[in-house]
Amino acid sequence: MRTWILALMASLAAGCVNQPENYKPAGFHNYSHVLPYKNLASYLNTQLTKTEWERFYKHFPEYIEHKEVREHLPWLTAYNFRWTTLNHKKPTWPGEKTRRLNGKKIKPGDTPFEIFYALGPPDRMIWDNDFEILLYKSDLALIMETGILKEIKPCIDCWEFPDDVGEDSAPELIAATSGMHDWDILKILGFKRPPPIR
């Protein structure tokens, strides 16, 4: 009985961060609007500075008690990234840039804050020690370098099923597939992984 009560309390605690009254002040329209940001929380966290986190907790003191809870961090990161974009990045953009981003136009030199504002979160990422690539189903591949857009490339075939997944594959396998394997996408984009260090 005690175990069940503790589990229920943990479940309720985990849910309090993602309630509607919490995500709306951060700038999200609804629950489904948050999820793509939450799923990219590890990447978004690399874009947020210590000052931005301090400012976020100062504005939302109700979140301070949640910041040490591991399952809450992706939600808090999503909230902070969106809130910082709308309330502290956007007001500093020149009018010309704001109009460009409102028109969903990006260019080299843009940051993830600007890219996510213009296009929304990417549908997929290749992000590791070798590459930082944001992929959109509009056939765009955004080649990043330490958080700055370096190049925009078309990626027409990136969302094709890989050779080992077809239309007759198990539904759960198809659902879990978001286009080609990373190595095939890198090949389409003309990239090669550097040889391993021996």
Whether 134 maps to a domain, the answer reads: yes
Would you say residue 8 lies in a domain? no
**pLDDT tens track for 132-177:** 999 998 899 999 999 999 999 999 888 776 555 455 544 443 344 4
Whether 12 is covered by a domain: the verdict is: no
- 50 in a domain, yes or no? yes
Whether residue 60 is contained in a domain is answered as: yes
Residue ranges of E strands in the chain: 124-127, 132-136, 140-145, 148-154
Q: Of 48, 80, 95, which residue is a domain's last?
A: 95
Q: What is the pTM of this model?
A: 0.82
147 and 190 share one domain:
yes
Rounded Cα distance between 104 and 142, Å, is 14
| pLDDT single digits (tens) 15-73 | 467 665 678 888 998 888 999 999 999 999 999 999 999 999 999 998 998 888 888 99
- Sequence-ordered alpha helix ranges (H) in 85-156: 95-102, 112-119
Expressed as residue numbers, the domain containing 75 is 19-95
65-119 pLDDT, tens digit each: 888 888 899 999 999 999 999 999 999 999 999 999 999 999 999 999 999 999 9
C-alpha distances out from residue 63 to 60, 107, 112, 129, Å: 6, 35, 24, 32
C-alpha 37/C-alpha 106 separation (Å) is 19
**pLDDT recorded at residue 176:** 43
